[in-house]
Amino acid sequence: MTTPVKATVGPQEKELLLKQIPLLRGKKVLIIGDVCVDEYVLGQVRRISPEAPVPVLEVEEEDVRLGMAANVAQNVVSLGGEALLVSVVGNDTGANLLRELSAKSGVVSEYLVTDTNRPTTRKTRVMAKHHHLVRVDYELRRDLSAETEAALIRRVEEVVDQADCVVIEDYKKGVVSRNVIERVVEICRKHGKRVLVDPHKTSSGPFYKGVDLIKPNYDEALTLAGMDFDDLRYNPNKVVEVGRALQKITGAREVVLTRGKDGMTIFSHDEVTEVPTYARKVFDVTGAGDTVIAALALGLVSGLSLVHSCMLANFAAGVVVGKVGCVPCEIPELQEYIQTAH
């Protein structure tokens, strides 16, 4: 069994990352996957309803943001890159809102496919300060029709040459099927593009077979590798076994296994490297995985090694978990975080 190497982030590594950030600018990432509009209704609870035993939220603020693969895209842009978004939306107000938010964020949304038989996914979170009271989902969780899937693949073929790499973001709403993965991998190999995937925990490892890099969290990795969840969840000595099993099942050259406060474990050909986390405070982990895959992709296409790209991604994630909801990591925040992290 390979013994993991523990990476450290000293002054030299910080200097390297800070010098690399300007080189992210202009790098193009093609993001394929499920998108949504995240809506937030924020306020305070001071009483219980006389009509039913439920809290009454006194609304103070409402907000709308890009979510899921669209959040990956806005993180790419906020870090200096260019995001090309391929997904499916409905013919509805949600789609209009998503396009408006994309335009404001600098995300290229002209490659979205419209399906009149599907709604645009919206998630409404009702919150009292940092506490979720309820979430309301508007969505249709089923595979795309053959016609819509073919249109999606045509969009990928149209735009792939513009991209420096491709990210598949799977939230299991229907956009990412096994056929889509196979076709995207085939197209990317033909055009010499690297394929990174952020998987969903309900899939099996073979579902993502053919991608170059897969980035699950530890629980997702257990399920994807078909391993016993109860037996392995709290056993850090099994991390290498889980990662290597997933690497074998998917055929991915590289696995980046995220482990929350314990950082990341990176699996390449014959090396296993552990990268520590840098989160100073955690308010909300929503969207942190989106930030990680965005920063990771930009780091790789800008010339960073996988280990240094993961360091960059960990710093970016440390920024966004200190905020509430899906928010992108901005360059000044990232620079300040790297400079001040201990």
Between CA 73 and CA 60 the distance in angstroms is 29
3-state per-residue secondary structure call for 98-163: HHHHHHHHCCECCCCEECCCCCCCEEEEEEECCEEEEEEEECCCCCCCHHHHHHHHHHHHHHHHHC
Q: Which residue has the tokens 């009271």?
A: 133
Nearest to 193 by CA among 184, 202, 205: 184
DSSP letter, residue 4: P
Q: Using CA of residue 173, residue 178, residue 181, residue 183, what is the dihedral sign?
A: negative
Angle at the Cα of 120 from the Cα atoms of 88 and 178, rounded to 5 degrees: 40
Structure tokens at 223: 């399920």
What angle (nearest 5°) sits at the alpha carbon of residue 15, between those of residues 9 and 18? 105
Answer whether 43's CB lies under 8 Å from 59's CB.
Answer: yes
Separation CA 178–CA 180 (nearest Å): 5
Q: What angle do CA 261, 267, 273 make, to 5 degrees?
A: 55
Residue 49, token pair as written in the block: 């309803």
Instruction: Name the nearest CA neighbour of 201 among 226, 234, 174, 178.
Output: 226
How far apart, in Å, are the Cα atoms of 84 and each of 102, 125, 156? 10, 27, 10
Q: Is 310 helix (H, G, I), strand (E, B) or coil?
A: helix
Instruction: Please list the active-site residues.
Output: 290
